[in-house]
Amino acid sequence: MRAWTPTGRPGDPLELATPQRPTPGPGELLVEVRAYSINRGETMLLERPRPGWRPGKDIAGTVVSVGPDTADWRVGDRVVAHPESGGWAEFAAVPAGRAALLPDSISDRVAAALPLAGLTAPRLLRVAGPIAGKRVLLTGASGGVGHYLVELAATQGALVTAVTSTPDRGERLLELGAADVVGKVGDTDGHFDLVLESVGGETLAEAWARLATRGLLIWFGQASRTPITLDFFNWSGAESGTLRKFSYAESDIPDGADLATLVRLVQGGHLHPEIGSVRPWLDTPEAVRALLERSVRGNLVLEVGQ
């Protein structure tokens, strides 16, 4: 089979290699990959790849083989899955507990946009607790996670202010239910009960200053790649508040179960994955560059075999 493999070379991080096609072990599925999406975090891992690692955590495709202890799965099942790695390939082995069945009404390209970004959004909101009627500030909102967060939070009755780098990147967020879209945290008015922050650098400190008394700020990323400096003696915001670090992987609900929920929401018309670009999978190196240059709004999907 063919698969994208990291080179470790700056400016040329990927090469198309021919590793051995995986064999599913106990509790695993072998999936013929039809589409996958690229996450910003994976592009950063390409800079210093660990030995033996191949990128790819978000895939959709068809089961072509099942390992032992997978009685509920059949060859021919369409799935969306979240393997630990190796998904930028023609075939990928996936633990069955990290996959969910796909109905015919959801295409592979839409399903491929679900896993990491889709899993992150509802898990963040579970940590946040009830948000109906609350003012929510979301930074870095124009990526895949941001679109899911806006739609899910607005559906739950939150008043979401989304921060995006340019106005055109925020248009879709208004359609998905954002109450307001601004270009920077300093353009907001008042204070917020909940802040969801993923930019880092000066943005986190600015967002902390917008937190309401006894509010909650959840930090879940550092897209700016700039270290954070936070002055707790700056009382321009809340006199007291909570700062929490979040990791999407720390969940009491298995990936497969959460993926099945996302599939139901999409099927029912309650969740709309934002796909900013769809390209042939052989264009993956160019797609990685586009994502690093922040020229793609929402998710970037590659179709295998195209």
What local confidence, expressed as pLDDT, does residue 306 receive? 57
Is residue 98 within 8 A of residue 82, CB to CB? The reply is yes
| Structural domain boundaries enclosing 173 | 124-245
- Both 16 and 71 in one domain: the answer is yes
Report the alpha-carbon distance of residue 31 to residue 253 in Å, rounded: 23
What are the structure tokens assigned to 69, written together? Answer: 């202890």
Q: Which residue, 229, 245, 261, sits at the end of a domain?
A: 245
- The pTM score is 0.93
At 271 the pLDDT is 97
- 146 plus 206 within the same structural domain: yes
Is the same domain home to 167 and 213? yes
Same domain for 141 and 164? yes
- Which CB contacts under 8 angstroms, 24+ apart, belong to 71-74? 72/96, 73/29, 73/99
Q: What are phi and psi of 225, to 5 degrees?
A: 60, 25
Residues 299 and 211 in one domain: no
The rounded average pLDDT for each run of 10 residues, N- to C-terminus, in the chain (306 residues) is 93 94 97 96 88 96 96 95 97 98 98 97 97 97 93 98 86 94 93 96 92 95 84 79 92 96 98 95 94 86 88
pLDDT in tens, 175-205: 999 999 999 999 999 999 999 999 999 999 9
Domain count, the chain: 2
88 phi and psi angles, rounded to 5 deg: -85, 70
Is 96 inside any structural domain?
Answer: yes
250 inside domain? no
Give the CATH number, domain containing residue 296.
3.90.180.10
- Say how many CA atoms lie within 13 Å of 222 toward its Cβ: 11
What is the CATH number for 195?
A: 3.40.50.720
d(CA 137, CA 170): 14
- Position 257 in a domain: no
Query: Are 72 and 9 in the same domain?
Result: yes
- Within 8 A by CB and 6+ apart from 190, the residues are 135, 210
